[in-house]
Amino acid sequence: MTGGKESSITEAETVDNSAESSNVVDNEFVAASWSGSDTVGAQHHTIVDEKHTVFEAGQKPTLPLAPGALPYFKISEAIVFAVIFVALMIGQIIFLISKAIWPEWWWIALEIIGLIGFFYWLVFAYPKLKFLRTRWRFDDQGLFIYQGIIFRKQYAVPRSRVQHIDVTQGPIQRNYSIAELVIHTAGTMNASVNLTGIAFGTAVDVRDKLLNQEQHDAV
């Protein structure tokens, strides 16, 4: 494996992406959440608020998702919301018609408030948190992903264990020129590890780098 080459590219990306992301991401927040272990280590035995209880990201720098991922998450969650909303409405209308009643005003008010709250959470709060909470790192070692809001997860896939890689792009993702990187291993539980929301170019880059490495190995 040729270490120097890979890491230099990764660094270049770091610079690149952080510059891009500064428009969208609250950089201070990211810094507070993900920078070195000292700050977090001190918090081990104290209860700290949600935003700051994070895993130690280690000494190595991690990358955020591409800025286009945030609107993409929002749109996909909005679609989810729309589906839930329509299903709920249809169900309710059928129910009300079958009973031939008109709902009480408080019920309507409650439902509107509930739906607005849900809408806010699903379409604004959740995508933002998801966006901020997803960090990744690709280097000589392999791919390391941090994600999750309530259920925090980290995936570490060593390079030598990668079986093959998919780069996929849906229509909405194309619009924001982001992509989904799917790394397949021979494992069972995590036979494929998924990273959605990195720039398409980056995804292709990661893939190509793994490709190069394989050619080296094969020789």
Residues of this chain, 23-42, that bind another protein according to CB under 8 A: 37, 41
Q: Does 151 bind another protein (CB under 8 A)?
A: yes
Q: Does 173 bind another protein (CB under 8 A)?
A: yes
Q: Does 2 bind another protein (CB under 8 A)?
A: no
Look at residues 179, 176, 183 and name the one whose alpha carbon lies nearest to residue 202. 179
Residues of this chain, 108-127, that bind another protein according to CB under 8 A: none
Nearer to another protein, 70 or 165 (CB): 165
Nearer to another protein, 16 or 140 (CB): 140
The CA-atom distances, in angstroms, between 4 and each of 7, 87, 207 are 6, 54, 18
The number of residues that bind another protein (CB under 8 A) is 57
Dihedral (Cα; 93, 95, 97, 103), 10-degree rounding:
-80
Rounded-to-integer distance, Cα 88 and Cα 102, Å: 16
Nearer to another protein, 112 or 156 (CB): 156
Cα 178 → chain centroid: 12
Look at residues 99, 92, 133, 95 and name the one whose alpha carbon lies nearest to residue 115. 92
**Interface residues with another protein (CB under 8 A)?**
37, 41, 44-45, 47, 53, 55-56, 58, 140-142, 144, 148, 150-171, 173-174, 184-191, 193, 200, 204, 207-208, 210-211, 214-215, 217-218
